[in-house]
Amino acid sequence: MDHLYCIDLFAGAGGISIGLEEAGFTCLYANEVSPIYSTTLEKGHPDAFVERGDIRKVDAGSVRRVLQLEKGDLALLAGGPPCQGFSVNAPVRSTDDERNHLFRDYLRFVEEFEPAAVLIENVPGMVSYEKGQTVKEILKALENLGYDAAVRILYAPHYGVPQMRWRTIFLGNRLGIDPHHMFPLPSHYAKGRANFTKSLDGVSLVMSDDDVRASAEREFLTVQEAIGDLPAAVSDDALVYATAPQNAFQSHVRRLSRKPENHQSAGLGPANLARLPHIPPGGSWRDIPFDLLPAGMKRARRSDHTKRYGRLHPEGIASTILTKCDPHWGSYIHPSEDRIISVREAARIQTFPDHIQFYGSLTDQYKQVGNAVPPLLSKAIGEKVREVLFSDRTVSTFSRWHEPQMRIAV
């Protein structure tokens, strides 16, 4: 039993599969509809079959045959399909946004491959969508396919990710194992403020602060620890690291890289450049002189827009990395330089390894990073799932791994 194979659907730039591979899985196949995202995915997973295109047009049976896998050979099927509005009782197509039905295509792959375990990720807000009905429908759909599944909302800093990011995670298996045992315990301590519905039918989906303290063995990773070895961001492709790795995280992300790729920062206009020198580390728009504020913010209350024009504090945790690191959106100003963070710095805060290059325009690159699942969060999940799959109870039930002979489409 030497191999743990996984598939990544709705893969984006590959944040989930990168983390799963770091946890010991081998990604055999990934699907992504965006051509630009697919290029990043393909370059980052040279040994996987990366299929570009609409998953609704993909025959799951053909994929399984190309990979030469029998039903039950796949260890884990992962993905982040749009789920809001999904219902097992809804029509396959309706007048609603069709993206909400893409979860059915995830289920097609589950049915075809019969993986030992399933992983689904989504935004934390989906728990309150339709008063939790969508979450219940997803759990029911997996149950109908023979999976015991559970849902939790995980806080990325608890797993070594230096940003305030929450994700809803579904995990399930068809091995008779309690799915709650598949969720990783926190390794890092950080306080997290949940500004969303965090319970379902009266049961909290978020680990309590006391339980986090009892589990975590170290403090959270700081912004400085994540990006402190990177040089000033310029357009020169001949960049070198500013220092040797300063900690285990930097050694980890640099292990396959000679230089920091994608270390370019989007430019700012004269008005924004005039504002930045007034903002100290950890500061925000409140530190900008009134006459330099944007017109709309001159009318704002001091309690509003707490993160806008925020400068990252080197000893703190970053704001959630979004698809556009615009200072008007949040805290994306470099801790010490008067610029927004570069694509590579955003990728570091997302915990992408430095050898993963992002393709397309600078705007495309920021979007790919912001839309991704942090690889270290995925790695923590993958390691726990691997532990469950290799437990003594599981080995006799799930023991059909083999090396597929083909990894390209025919």
Same domain, 204 and 251: no
Range of the domain at 250: 223-371
Classify residue 409: in a domain, yes or no.
no
Query: Chain-centre distance of CA 108, in angstroms?
Result: 23
Same domain, 117 and 182: yes
Q: Select from 177, 173, 125, 172 the least CA-distant residue to 153.
A: 125
Same domain, 196 and 328: no
**pLDDT for 356-401, tens place per residue?**
999 999 999 999 999 999 999 999 999 999 999 887 555 545 544 4
Classify residue 408: in a domain, yes or no.
no
Question: Exactly one of 6, 27, 83, 325 is catalytic; which is it?
Answer: 83
Same domain, 390 and 340: no
Contact 19, 373 (CB under 8 A): yes
Check pLDDT > 60 for residue 96: no
Same domain, 233 and 171: no
**pLDDT for 181-225, tens place per residue?**
999 999 999 999 888 889 999 999 999 999 999 999 999 999 999
The average confidence (pLDDT) of the chain is 90
**pLDDT for 100-143, tens place per residue?**
678 899 999 999 999 999 999 999 988 988 888 989 999 999 99
Classify residue 364: in a domain, yes or no.
yes
Q: How many domains does the chain have?
A: 2
Classify residue 349: in a domain, yes or no.
yes
Classify residue 56: in a domain, yes or no.
yes
Token pair in block for residue 322: 């979004």
**pLDDT for 7-56, tens place per residue?**
999 999 999 999 999 999 999 999 999 999 999 999 999 999 999 999 99
Helical spans, DSSP H, in 191-335:
209-215, 223-227, 248-254, 270-275
Q: What is the CATH number of the domain that holds 113?
A: 3.40.50.150
Tell me, what DSSP letter sits at residue 233?
-
Classify residue 154: in a domain, yes or no.
yes
Q: What angle do CA 71, 76, 27 make, to 5 degrees?
A: 100
Tell me, what's the pLDDT at 305?
A: 67
Three-class DSSP category at 171: strand
> Average of pLDDT values for 217-242?
87
* Catalytic annotation present for 83: yes
Classify residue 114: in a domain, yes or no.
yes
Task: Look up the pTM and report it.
Answer: 0.92
Contact 335, 311 (CB under 8 A): yes
Phi and psi (nearest 5°) for 322?
-100, -175
d(CA 229, CA 227): 6
What's the distance, Cα to Cα, between the start and end of the chain in Å? 28
Location of structure tokens 């984006």: 12
Same domain, 249 and 100: no
Token pair in block for residue 30: 């990934």
d(CA 375, CA 175): 26
Classify residue 405: in a domain, yes or no.
no
Same domain, 279 and 379: no
Q: Which residues contact 212 (CB under 8 A, 6 or more apart)?
A: 158, 186, 189, 190
